[in-house]
Amino acid sequence: MLTLFKKIFTWWNQDTLGTKIKTILSGKFVGKDHLGNKYYESKSGKRWVIYAEEVDASKIPVEWYSWIHFTPNKIEKNHDLKKYDWQKPHQSNLTGTELAYYPNKKRDAIKKKYKTWKN
């Protein structure tokens, strides 16, 4: 019952009931990426993605980013783009997590470059 409630009223837990109906009625399956996200296109040209897990736009890999944003390039024709050894795997947005980048990770290492004149 709770799963059905979440499907109807929450958009941040994968696809809603409305998206599911739209996908069944007018969506043509285009492909699936290595993260499990599924990509669809309607006859009118609208494109959308149904995420495998949490809804997060940064989880669209580069192979599909150009397709979903209507940017024509060589990736558009070949979604199984060859990866080189020097390329890092796709990462979603890490802001707000422990893995996020900030310049001084050692907070004790922050030292003042000046001395205050009041004691």
Integer Cα distance of 102 and 74 in angstroms:
34
Which tokens in the block code for residue 115? 């001395």
In a domain, 8, yes or no: no
pLDDT at position 63? 79
pLDDT digits (tens, 9 = 90+) for 1-45: 666 666 666 655 667 777 788 888 888 999 898 888 999 999 999
Domain of 46, in residue numbers: 29-109
- Residue 104 domain-assigned? yes
Alpha-carbon dihedral angle through residues 73, 78, 79, 85, given to the nearest 10 degrees: -90
pLDDT-derived band at 77 (thresholds 50, 70, 90) equals low
Residue 23 included in any domain:
no
Number of domains in the chain: 1
Residue 3 in domain: no
pTM (two decimals): 0.62
